[in-house]
Amino acid sequence: MLTRKKKLLASVSPTRIIVSSFALIIFTGAILLSLPAASNDGRSIGFLNAFFTATSATCVTGLVVADTLTQWTLFGQIVILFLIQIGGLGIVTLATFFSVLLGRKISMSGKILAQESTSGYSFADVTRLIRSVIKITVGLELAGAVLLSFSFIPRFGMRGIYLSIFHSISAFCNAGFDLIGNFRSLTQYNDDPIVIYTISLLIITGGLGFIVWKDLADYRKTRSLYLHTKLVLIISAGLLIIGALFFFVSEYTNPQTMGPLNLYERINAAVFHSVTCRTAGYNSLPLNEMSELSKIVTILLMFIGAAPGSTGGGIKVTTFGILLMAILSNIKGNDETVVLKRRVSQVVVNKALSIAGLSMVLIFIMTSVIATLEPFPFINVLYEVTSAFGTVGLSTGITPQLGGISKLMLIITMFLGRVGPLSFAVAIALRENKKLQNAVYPEGKIMVG
């Protein structure tokens, strides 16, 4: 019987197991959050709203149907925090770590799972990588909590310790849940560099990805970096700088956003929004009052997202980078895609095209459905759906007002955005027909352009 179970487990793809594990955690969290003990008024919030919140927390999104501070008891908030931590790291990563901690030997299938969960290149040193991931995560979250406590304790007294821990974990995992209250997020903190820049650094480090951390940590020994790491750092820095400059100029005179702020606060707000709109979900500006152009640029940044193997979502910065370089290489007349003087396999380019294409189709379908059902402006619906897909969590304020079907659409979008459209398609696909896979077809010619 045991051998049969092992064979059955081995026959299931790692991607399918990861998708299933996320679904299991979400349903467990939804049951806990639907309990009366989880709500401050002593009444159940209802399974759909609990399911939405559990999905948002596990998929580290941050979209909410109710204010986190006023709706949830300490029990409910802790459930949300655990879901954020599990979702940020991945259940497979945590399971592997605790197996190592207990001295259990990790099987080959377990290493492959962990490799898939962390987007690693190989599973030869996956155990060491998992240990490093947990150590770095705990270390950075503790450091973030200590820094935030210098601002939160003077404001909130000893409760500031809890707030510091909650927001540090939420920021590092790129979740965007906050306990400030009344949907204000960090709009009152543009004059507080401790909060703005500590959370920004936590968001950035969480969004770089585990492989980048390992590569940077090993740089003293290797004196070289993966092409992956270089591309992640270059694209991330470029998007951060361009985004900050754009939002600073675009919102500078907007009386509803940056208008009332002084120059120092405007700089803080511009930098913070550029950081958070790619993956996190905190906001220091009233999002619904931003200009249409700023909303469109925010949507583009949310769509791109963070790095592979990170706590963030989106199509990923490497996917965007590869597509950009494929276009530039084609313009230059190169038959192959070249990135930083390195040739990129056509298989990788095709995968990037598939991810971007499937993602756009998903966002288009979900936006069309919700826009048909709801009375809100199309740009706000597109904003909300893209935020859900990118597991960002920024909101124009319409999510709590959505109907049941629209909320289900966003739940599906958050889930697919976290596990990845391509990974999900592979996870549910039927077993491939090897004969068809290896078949050689005659070449056909099609005119394009």
- The alpha-helical segments, DSSP class H, found in 305-437 are 317-331, 346-373, 378-389, 404-419, 421-428, 434-437
Helices 421-428 and 346-373: crossing angle in degrees, nearest 10, is 90
308 in the Ramachandran plot: left (φ > 0), alpha (ψ -120 to 50) or beta?
A: beta
CA distance 77 to 171: 15
CA distance 84 to 168: 11
Q: pLDDT tens track of the chain, all 449 residues?
A: 445 544 544 455 556 666 777 888 999 999 999 999 999 999 999 999 999 999 999 988 999 999 999 999 999 999 999 999 988 876 445 444 444 444 444 444 444 444 444 445 444 455 666 777 778 888 999 999 999 999 999 999 999 999 999 999 999 988 989 999 888 899 999 999 999 999 999 999 988 877 788 788 888 888 888 888 899 999 999 999 999 999 999 999 999 999 999 999 999 999 999 999 988 889 999 999 999 999 999 999 999 998 887 777 889 999 999 999 999 988 888 888 888 888 888 888 888 898 899 899 999 999 999 999 999 999 999 999 999 999 899 999 999 999 999 999 999 999 988 877 656 555 444 444 444 455 566 766 566 66
207 in the Ramachandran plot: left (φ > 0), alpha (ψ -120 to 50) or beta?
A: alpha
CA distances to 190, 193, 280, 289, 414 from 251, rounded to whole Å, are 14, 20, 20, 10, 29
CA distance 403 to 409: 10
Q: Which amino acid is at 402?
A: L
Q: What is the pLDDT of residue 40?
A: 95
337 in the Ramachandran plot: left (φ > 0), alpha (ψ -120 to 50) or beta?
A: beta
Q: What is the pLDDT of residue 434?
A: 46
The whole-model pTM stands at 0.86
Helix, strand or coil for residue 322? Answer: helix
Q: What is the pLDDT of residue 15?
A: 61
- Tokens in use for 42? 């002593």
- Tokens in use for 97? 């770590």
Helix, strand or coil for residue 214? Answer: helix
Q: Which of 379, 187, 231 is nearest to 298 (CA)?
A: 379
CA distances to 58, 66, 293 from 368, rounded to whole Å, are 25, 24, 21
Q: What is the pLDDT of residue 14?
A: 56
CB within 8 Å of 441: residues ≥ 6 apart = none
341 in the Ramachandran plot: left (φ > 0), alpha (ψ -120 to 50) or beta?
A: left
CA distance 42 to 35: 9
CA distance 337 to 155: 53
CA distance 215 to 33: 39
In the numeric block, the tokens 């594990």 are attached to 21
Half-sphere exposure of 204 (CA within 13 A, CB side): 18
Helix, strand or coil for residue 339? Answer: strand
Q: What is the pLDDT of residue 439?
A: 58
Q: What is the pLDDT of residue 101?
A: 43
CA distance 417 to 44: 28
- The alpha-helical segments, DSSP class H, found in 157-254 are 159-172, 193-208, 210-217, 219-222, 227-251
- Where do the domains of the chain lie? 12-426
Q: What is the pLDDT of residue 362?
A: 93
